[in-house]
DNA sequence: TGTAGTATTAGAATCAGTCTAAAACTGTAG
DNA sequence: CTACAGTTTTAGACTGATTCTAATACTACA
């Protein structure tokens, strides 16, 4: 059984524990979100969910996504303009790598994050909670198809 | 003369050098963007510009902002959902500090950014161009008005 | 079986931003 | 000065993403 499958199974378990009512619609949304290194828009999730439950409405998809985000089971992120992306890999905190040429996004665990800190002159009584790092660059595939 | 004023003056100079035609509308947008630690939405910039040139239209504000961003004179950023924010402090690269309680954003130069790097297992031929760091936490003011 | 609470729906509404086609300006050559 | 080409601005239509609304359907359980 894959890492993603295990993650998905644990998620279903947590949802059951929380007495979150699992309906066919909600299940289809949660299923649309299983898979590794996945970053989908609400519209893509809607499309996937529809292949399983054709009568599902956009409102339900948005409601379900909001609830999962509130429960901490799903991360919502905004990389540049355009629609929000949903990242099912929310339980373990991680960072992102964005290819500026194809736009693909990868989950990463960079080195040096724990040493990031504010300078004295920037601090001004601020209480740090977390740091978010986004790397931009060019992925192998885009570098190799070097046809500028 | 303040730091921000000097920055603003140099900006006007660069725009002149580039033969960017300065019209009253464009001037009002550029003026709306002067000030330290400023992060405005297009709508706020429109409102400010209107106090100077009441007949300016939204389209002109958006056009002008796009041109400034293309010229590298203005940074456009997306912190969470909602409208994009424009940061006039674009020439010197910097990072951001966001108060999760009041939403205010501060420009910072954190320690340790230059040591951030990809792990071998995450790298996969990726060519890094830049890292973007966003700190989240609570600002002094919000911490002091501790009335939960 | 009735009822209260929960979930879902289609479509209207909202919000941010882009597009369009016409009108207004500007610089310059005659 | 006048004509023209090129640039800039405009109001409002349009689009895409998301939220809201009010009606309907489902579920648990008294």
pTM of the model: 0.89
Interface size A-B, in CB pairs within 8 Å, comes to 134
Gyration radius from chain A CA atoms = 18
Straight-line distance from CA B25 to C1' D2, in Å?
Answer: 28
Please name which of B100, B36, B95 lies closest in space to residue A127, comparing C-alpha atoms.
B100
**What residue in B sits closest to A117 (Cα-Cα)?**
B111
Chain A nearest CA to B62, separation (Å): 14
Q: Is B43 on the interface with A (CB under 8 A)?
A: no
Residue B97 has its nearest CB partner, among A113, A126, A140, at: A126
- pLDDT for the residue B147: 60
Q: Which H or E element spans position A92?
A: none
Chain B residues in contact with A109 by the CB 8 A cut-off are 119, 122
The angle, 0 to 180 degrees and rounded to 10, between the axes of the packed helices A24-32 and A3-17 is 150
Task: Decide if B132 and A134 are in contact by the 8 Å CB cutoff.
Answer: yes
Residue linked to tokens 């909602």: B82
Rounded to whole angstroms, the Cα distance separating B37 from B88 reads 8
Work out the pLDDT band at A148, boundaries 50, 70, 90. low
Residue of A nearest to B122 (CA): A108
Query: CB contact, 8 Å: B100 with chain A?
Result: yes
CA B48 – CA B143 distance, rounded (Å): 30
Beta strands in A60-100 (DSSP E): 75-77, 85-87, 95-99
Average per-residue pLDDT for chain A: 91
What is the spatial distance between Cα B34 and Cα B38, in angstroms, rounded to a whole number? Answer: 8
Taking the Cβ of residue A140 and every Cβ of chain B, the question of whether any pair is shorter than 8 Å is answered with yes
Q: Which residues in chain A have their CB less than 8 angstroms from residue B100's CB?
A: 129
Give every CB contact of residue A30 below 8 A, 6+ residues apart in sequence: A8, A11, A12, A15, A64, A68
Tens-of-pLDDT digits for all 148 residues of chain B?
666 667 677 777 787 777 789 999 999 999 999 877 799 999 999 999 999 999 999 999 999 999 999 999 999 999 989 999 999 988 899 999 999 999 999 999 999 999 999 999 999 999 999 999 999 999 999 998 876 5
Q: CB distance from B143 to chain A under 8 Å? A: yes
Q: For residues B63 and B147, give the distance between their C-alpha atoms in angstroms, rounded to a whole number.
A: 43
Give the separation between CA B48 and CA A108, rounded to whole angstroms.
Answer: 41
> Would you state the structure tokens that stand for residue A105, as one six-digit string?
């996004």
């Amino acid at each position: 059984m894959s890492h993603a499958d295990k993650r998905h199974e644990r998620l279903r378990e947590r949802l059951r524990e929380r007495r979150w009512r699992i309906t066919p619609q909600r299940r289809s949304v949660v299923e649309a979100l299983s898979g590794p290194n996945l970053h989908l828009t609400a519209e893509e999730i809607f499309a996937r969910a529809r292949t399983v439950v054709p009568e599902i409405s956009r409102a339900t998809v948005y409601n379900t996504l909001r609830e999962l985000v509130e429960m901490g089971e799903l991360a919502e992120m905004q990389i540049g303009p355009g629609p929000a992306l949903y990242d099912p890999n929310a339980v373990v905190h991680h960072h992102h790598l964005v290819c500026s040429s194809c736009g693909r996004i990868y989950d990463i665990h960079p080195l040096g994050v724990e040493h990031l800190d504010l300078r004295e002159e920037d601090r001004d009584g601020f209480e740090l909670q977390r740091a978010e790092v986004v790397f931009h660059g060019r992925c192998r595939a885009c570098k190799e198809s070097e046809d500028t």
